[in-house]
Amino acid sequence: MPTAIPEDSVGLVSPRAQSFSEPLSLACGRSLANYELVYETYGELNKTRSNAVLICHALSGHHHAAGYHSMDDRKPGWWDSCIGPGKAIDTRKFFVVSLNNLGGCNGSTGPSSINPATGTPFGADFPVMTVEDWVNSQARLADTLGISQWAAVVGGSLGGMQAMQWTISYPERVRHCLAIASAPKLSAQNIAFNEVARQAILTDPEFHGGHFQEHGVIPKRGLMLARMVGHITYLSDDAMGEKFGRGLKSEKLNYDFHSVEFQVESYLRYQGEEFSGRFDANTYLLMTKALDYFDPAAAYDGDLARTLEVAKADFCVMSFTTDWRFSPARSREIVDALMAARKNVCYLEIDAPQGHDAFLMPIPRYLQAFSSYMNRIAV
Amino acid sequence: MPTAIPEDSVGLVSPRAQSFSEPLSLACGRSLANYELVYETYGELNKTRSNAVLICHALSGHHHAAGYHSMDDRKPGWWDSCIGPGKAIDTRKFFVVSLNNLGGCNGSTGPSSINPATGTPFGADFPVMTVEDWVNSQARLADTLGISQWAAVVGGSLGGMQAMQWTISYPERVRHCLAIASAPKLSAQNIAFNEVARQAILTDPEFHGGHFQEHGVIPKRGLMLARMVGHITYLSDDAMGEKFGRGLKSEKLNYDFHSVEFQVESYLRYQGEEFSGRFDANTYLLMTKALDYFDPAAAYDGDLARTLEVAKADFCVMSFTTDWRFSPARSREIVDALMAARKNVCYLEIDAPQGHDAFLMPIPRYLQAFSSYMNRIAV
């Protein structure tokens, strides 16, 4: 709980909801007739509507990126270190829009919403979403906000994929794209980890084919395992070593099959259990599928440079040395393609021990580079 | 099925069983009153009993390391590429002993054996084993075979840990130690992956606190997930990319929550399902625990060099460039400690794309180095 709101915070914020009634056609062939997107905004839209920045969230993210919902909040929004007055995304300069993606579980229409056709939750009947679908839905949100062009679309990880997709789907509508700790597509290993997470959920007896809400249960075990395996990939080996090493939970070893012996086990179990109480299992499946499917270059026989030729944005790509989920090599693939496509691109590889999660952390060199880039954007 | 036994095979082999009735004290404080070890031997023990080599197996391994059990066998033993006449561990020179470790599920006494005290399977009542316990039980097997000193103790991964422990627990009884793709202890990340595997098994409703045999079920789902996550760590990112890339299972994407879209998903599911039908869940827990607990330097405040001072063996340490489970850096920790302890040590880092599993594969440079080292051993 903040005893007082910090000066560099956007302060108390409230989410808003926007309903859409024009059907949205999806990559899967289906369409959503009606849907709602929940979003927050920080800062003020200027008169020429030229200072809007879109924040795209990653797998388990949501619209609440900065500030506090109440004075009782224990923590601010998930990217508060980067969004606020004087911060990298300076809300004195920019009008920031942050939404919960379609298919999410934090207010926007998703698997846990009521399906108007049946009167019961969509569950596994909710359509699978792709990054392209999200960008299309985000474009409609921009329309309702009167934003014809974003000064920048910004995202980390899966959010970076959305930022890239914006420059391909709507080249006229984005001036700058910031793709942080991202990748042009998943590797076989990335897909494999997602598949373990999905199998953990799908095989949980309380998943009930995705209709667990009607059974009054939650596939907690599956979600817990999915989060545990995900969490390992968010941290570097070094970061885990630094944080836990082989530190013991108690003073001595228990030597049995089920006790928590090491602190890292305790940490992972806690992370898994906490997550399983607040996240929707179908949304987790949907998010991992969106990651798997993302491969914009597939339309051009894998030629990413050719794919990005259509883009009109300038690009800023950032990666972190110890990120093994989306390693610097994956960011360099994006940079190489952008150079081959003769786009303006800044690239920074940040020396950071935290692994993939580094993009969420207040690392001085990262914040400095991020600020520098954002400060140079003309509005 | 071999239509004919290859010339460089040890040929048809049969496992033998050895019963022990003197209680074995274990690190956990308990003891095993009676137990049986299943083992195979290849080659002939020479008159001076100086040519015996012990093979120590890894997590899911067993005694059947080389040759065939029958002409109907689809595949030879798990290390057939390295054991046989003219191979790295040349059975024309050496007498090779390969056992199933205590707590295993391939014939030696383990959780699926009948507990004489209750008349029902041990299940989760089987004591947790450590690498030290295994080495003590292996020493007793050596006694019954009349082997007072091994020419070499050899193992990969968890097997390499046993080989190292031999030089510490029984320095007079081992002349050469070969530790391949191994580590002096698990890292926090290593433990974390084991913990995900364990939680998958422990939370499977069909685990029944480890007494699933009495319920006539198998925690297949947990074992499947455990194997899937394990399998990812056995392969390198590159090897997975090379083998599967983003290749699709069918011609086009299904865009739903449960379909197998990518070949890598299909491969992992198959590996997981196949494994869950043949491996014991309690043994899996036990093996991961033995890995977690291994940390011989803990007795010397983490000083591995001091720990290894007692060793009288010469050492051969080998690692593989793309192994990220036990990376070359982990092998170099062993080598550095051995040098500090003024031991004879050969170290080879083999350029191989296969990841951790490389130690099981017929990689020419690996086989050549392995052969060279073994050939120089005086018997």
HSE value, Cβ hemisphere, 13 Å, CA-based, for B258? 11
- pLDDT of res. B251: 85
Taking an 8 Å cut-off on Cβ atoms, the answer to whether A240 and B193 are in contact is no
Give the separation between CA A15 and CA A65, rounded to whole angstroms: 11
Considering only CA atoms, give the Rg of chain A: 21
Rounded Cα distance, A17 and B37, in Å: 67
Question: Is the Cβ pair A225, B192 closer than 8 Å?
Answer: no
Q: Which residues of chain A have pLDDT under 50?
A: none
Cβ contacts of B224 on chain A, cutoff 8 Å = 199, 203
- Burial of B347: CB neighbours in 10 Å, binned 0-12, 13-18, 19+: middle
In which region does residue B66 sit, left (phi positive, over 0), alpha (psi from -120 to 50) or beta (all else)? beta
CA distance B151 to B226: 36
> Starting at the edge strand that comes first in sequence, how are the strands of the sheet with A152-156 ordered?
A16-20, A35-42, A95-99, A52-56, A152-156, A176-180, A314-320, A345-350
Q: Are residues A163 and A154 in contact, defined by beta-carbon separation less than 8 angstroms?
A: yes
Q: Do the chains contact at A292 and B229, CB–CB below 8 Å?
A: no
pLDDT value, residue A1: 53
Closest-CA residue of B relative to A287 is B257
Q: Are A331 and A359 in contact (CB under 8 A)?
A: no
Task: Tell if the CB–CB gap between B188 and A286 is shorter than 8 Å.
Answer: no
Q: Closest approach of chain A CAs to the CA of B15, in angstroms?
A: 29
Cα of A186 to nearest chain B Cα, Å: 8
Kindly report, residue by residue over B19-62, the tens digit of the pLDDT.
999 999 999 999 999 999 999 999 999 999 999 999 999 999 99
The pLDDT, as a whole number, for residue B259 is 87
- Our CA dihedral for B58, B59, B60, B64, rounded to 10 degrees, sits at 30
Selecting from B189, B198, B232 the residue whose C-beta is nearest the C-beta of A193 gives B232
Query: Residues, chain B, total?
Result: 379
Cβ neighbours of B228 in A, within 8 Å: 192, 195-196, 199
Q: Which residues of B touch A224 (CB under 8 A)?
A: 199, 203
- Do residue A189 and residue B232 have CB atoms under 8 angstroms apart? yes
Among A305-314, B157-166, B253-262, B323-332, the range scoring the smallest mean pLDDT is: B253-262
Rounded to whole angstroms, how far apart are CA atoms B309 and A22? 76
Please tell me which of the candidates A195, A244, A285 has its beta carbon nearest to residue B268: A195
pLDDT in tens, A314-372: 999 999 999 999 999 999 999 999 999 999 999 999 999 999 999 999 999 999 999 99
pLDDT tens figures, A242-284: 999 999 998 889 999 888 999 999 999 999 999 999 999 999 9
State the average pLDDT for chain A. 96
Q: What six digits make up the tokens of B112?
A: 């699926």
Binding site of A for substrate, by residue number, is 227, 357
Q: Which two tokens stand for residue B163?
A: 């080989």
Which residues have CB under 8 Å from A371's CB, separation 6+?
A87, A88, A90
For residue A128, give the nearest of B203, B246, B255 by CB distance: B255
State how far the alpha carbon of A38 is from the alpha carbons of A63, A104, A150, in Å: 7, 10, 19
Which of B257, B260, B275, B333 should we substitute to test contact with A (largest number of A Cβ atoms within 10 Å)? B257
Question: Looking up tokens 């959920």, which residue turns up?
Answer: A201
Indicate the annotated binding residues of B for substrate: 227, 357
Residues of B annotated catalytic, as ranges: 157, 323, 356
Look at residue B20 in the predicted model and tell me its pLDDT. 98
Q: What are the backbone dihedrals phi and psi of residue B375, each rounded to the nearest 5 degrees, phi first? A: -65, -30
CA angle (A184 as vertex; A181, A185 as ends), nearest 5: 105
pLDDT-above-90 percentage for chain B:
96
pLDDT (0 to 100) of residue B1: 53
pLDDT for residue B257:
86
Strand A345-350 vs strand B176-180: parallel, antiparallel, or unpaired?
Answer: unpaired
Lowest mean pLDDT among A177-186, B257-266, B280-289: B257-266
Amino acid letter for position A345: V
CA distance to partner chain B, nearest, from residue A352 (Å): 17
Predicted pLDDT of residue A257: 86
**Ordered DSSP codes for B315-368:** EEEEEETT-SSS-HHHHHHHHHHHHHTT--EEEEEE--TTGGGGGGS--HHHHH
Instruction: Calculate the CA A158 to chain-centre distance.
Output: 5
Instruction: State the average pLDDT over residues B93-102.
Output: 98
Instruction: Give chain B positions within 8 Å (CB) of A293.
Output: 253, 255, 261
Residue B362: the pLDDT is 96
- From the list A200, A202, A255, the residue facing B200 with the nearest CB is A200
Q: How far is A255 from chain B (nearest CA, A)?
A: 5
